[in-house]
Chains A and B, each alone.
Chain A
Amino acid sequence: MIKEISIFVENQKGKLSTISKILGDNNISIKGFSVDDTGEGYGIFRIVPDYWEKAEELLKKDFTISVNNIIAVKVEDKAGSLYKVLKILSDNKINLEYTYLLANSIIALKVDNEINGIKVLKNNNIELIENNLMI
């Protein structure tokens, strides 16, 4: 299972770079990220670090964070491949909450039911990434 760290941020300039710096200084690399901005003065910064446990340890003191499971899939570099993944999920009544791009043509998927999500994707021969270090 892939671990994603969500960080609550007020829209303060420099917050994202502070977080990137803390992780960079500790040789943790961010494999992908997204920013959910509400436009109301706060938002959520999501990152997928390679060494997520260490990242959690470093960030939890000064930030409001939450570690959650996500699914990461390798999508082939051709038209329609992302659609194929999304269709499998929706055909199986699994709701996608959000998605974003990770490194190496890997897509992060946050669904309402990870266990089922993984099962149906596997059954359809979609390549799943096992853990954060394999991204």
Chain B
Amino acid sequence: MAWDDKIEFMSEKEIKELQTERLIKTVEKAYKSLFYKKKFDEVGLKPSDIKDLSDLKKIPFTTKDDLRAAYPFGMLTVDKNDIVRIHSSSGTTGKATVIAFTKKDIDTWADYVARCLYMIGMRKGDVFQNMMSYGLFTGGLGFHYGAEKLGATVIPIGGGNTAKQIRMILDFKTSFLHITPSYALHVSEEIIKDGIDPKALGLKGLIVGAEPHSEATRKKLEEIYNCPVFNSYGLSEMNGPGVGFECEYRDDPHIWEDGYIIEIVNPETGENMPDGEEGELVITSINREGMPILRYRTKDLTHIKKEKCKCGRNHKKIGRVVGRADDMLIVKGINVFPSQIEDILMSIQEVGNNYQIVVDRKEDYIDTIKIRVEISKKFFHGKLSELKNIKEKIQHSIREEIMINPEIELLEPQALPPSEGKAKRVVDLRKI
């Protein structure tokens, strides 16, 4: 028995029929937005040209830049008054994207998440500790609503404050955690320090997401906590969590094809690629009302799996995301674009031309970000206070932008390799 037997166990043919019907409706709806009207008109495409799934590739891609350009409401397909919730991508000033939800969207989203959670064994009576940040980030509220819809007891604790997290797990006999993998490792060490074996917590499952991690890390977590660890796939442009989830076989996530059409394209040419081949994941949301997005370039590099899953669900699975078609970093579960950091550094006149971003993970599994900057000769007047001020200014501005406190290392000019060609601006030392 599943959360939604009918949808989850549809045949491939039924999925395709439902997708076709929903795609046609979505395209009609999307054309009502300023953004898609322009996009369609530009290539001479009419909504009526989309008659079945094979017509999908006639639709131009939508990119993150499109979303930025349409900020804040250029992509709405409903009246602004019908929007009940707004989420925004990871707090980036000047680069924000908005995702708007109608009341129905919120409910549909919660239903997808509930479906995922039910699939991994969560039931009414289970205690779900949501250790992801709330707020504009969709990961927190998305799971919150889904778990509540399912009927679980939700602890909306958010991220951080490890001692309190552990207290709650013990006091409320938490059964499921939603957590980033690196934080799960950190928490386990703290639990052991408290003299408790994480195995004795009696957890039924860990939901990990928002951060790339290896199969080895999953195995390690399963061993430490003695419970299954499930990977989640989602992105705010597609609601957030609930786009895909691993079933009991924990062998990559099923994408809910009643809500999302997935394609793999060559990241350079945009050509569609056959199942099994590695490329960029492109998603079309076909079950959203306020802001449907057509052929969204996720930048996630993966493939569509060909083999059927033993669980009996025909919703396609995607392989583990192997990287990004852009240079986005995920640090402490937060999306960070090196360009955001560069923009700030280049606006500070005391900073020279070269910089380097070093991401590392400490012994206690906490991510760190260090920015190494060359100072400009012009601005050195022989005062220590001046250097200290430059350092604080850089640190403060970057923290404001990326929400993570970076370590700043001041360097002499020419201390870093020159920036010609593909200088190594980003060094990621983490072992995921």
Report which A residues bind B (CB closer than 8 A).
Answer: 4, 6, 8-10, 36, 38, 40-44, 46, 62-68, 97
Contact = CB atoms under 8 A, between A and B. Distances in A.
B414 to A, nearest CB: 8
B375 interface: yes
B384 interface: yes
B381 A8 contact: no
16 contacts: A6-B380, A6-B382, A6-B383, A8-B412, A10-B412, A38-B384, A38-B388, A42-B409, A44-B387, A63-B412, A64-B375, A64-B412, A65-B380, A65-B382, A66-B380, A66-B382
B413 interface: yes
B411 interface: yes
A68 B415 contact: no
B384 A68 contact: no
A41 B387 CA distance: 12
B382 A42 contact: no
B387 A46 contact: no
B409 A8 contact: no
9 tightest A-B contacts by CB? A6-B382, A66-B382, A64-B380, A42-B410, A64-B377, A66-B381, A68-B382, A66-B380, A36-B384
Nearest to B381: A66
Interface of B: 375, 377, 380-384, 387-388, 391, 409-415
Contacts of B377: 64-65
Given A10-B415, A64-B375, A64-B377, A41 B409 contact: yes
Contact of A8 (B375, B388, B391, B414): B375
Contacts of B383: 6, 44, 97
B380 A68 contact: no
Contacts of A42: 387, 409-411
Main secondary structure of the interface of A (DSSP, over half): strand
Given A6-B381, A42-B411, A64-B412, 7 more contacts: A6-B382, A10-B411, A41-B410, A42-B410, A43-B384, A66-B381, A66-B382
A6 B410 CA distance: 16
A6 B385 CA distance: 13
Nearest to A97: B383
Contacts of B380: 6, 8, 64-66
Contacts of A66: 380-382
Nearest to B387: A42
A40 B412 CA distance: 14
A40 B372 CA distance: 12
Contacts of A8: 375, 380, 387, 410, 412
A64 B414 CA distance: 10
Contacts of A64: 375, 377, 380, 412-413
A44 B382 contact: yes
Contacts of B382: 4, 6, 44, 46, 65-68
Contacts of B384: 36, 38, 43-44
A10 B410 contact: yes
Contacts of A36: 384
B156 to A, nearest CB: 38
A72 B411 CA distance: 31
A28 to B, nearest CB: 19
B409 to A, nearest CB: 6
B386 to A, nearest CB: 9
A97 B381 CA distance: 14
A36 B382 CA distance: 10
Given A8-B387, A38-B388, A68 B381 contact: yes
A9 B412 CA distance: 7
A62 B413 CA distance: 8
Nearest to A66: B382
Nearest to B378: A64
A40 B414 CA distance: 19
Contacts of B411: 10, 42
B373 to A, nearest CB: 11
A63 B411 CA distance: 11
B419 to A, nearest CB: 18
A58 to B, nearest CB: 15
Nearest to A15: B412
Contacts of A6: 380-383
A50 to B, nearest CB: 19
Given A10-B410, A64-B380, A68-B381, A38 B387 contact: yes
Which of A8, A46, A65 gathers the greatest number of chain B CB atoms within 10 Å? A8
Nearest to B414: A62
Nearest to A41: B409
A87 to B, nearest CB: 24
A57 to B, nearest CB: 15
A60 to B, nearest CB: 8
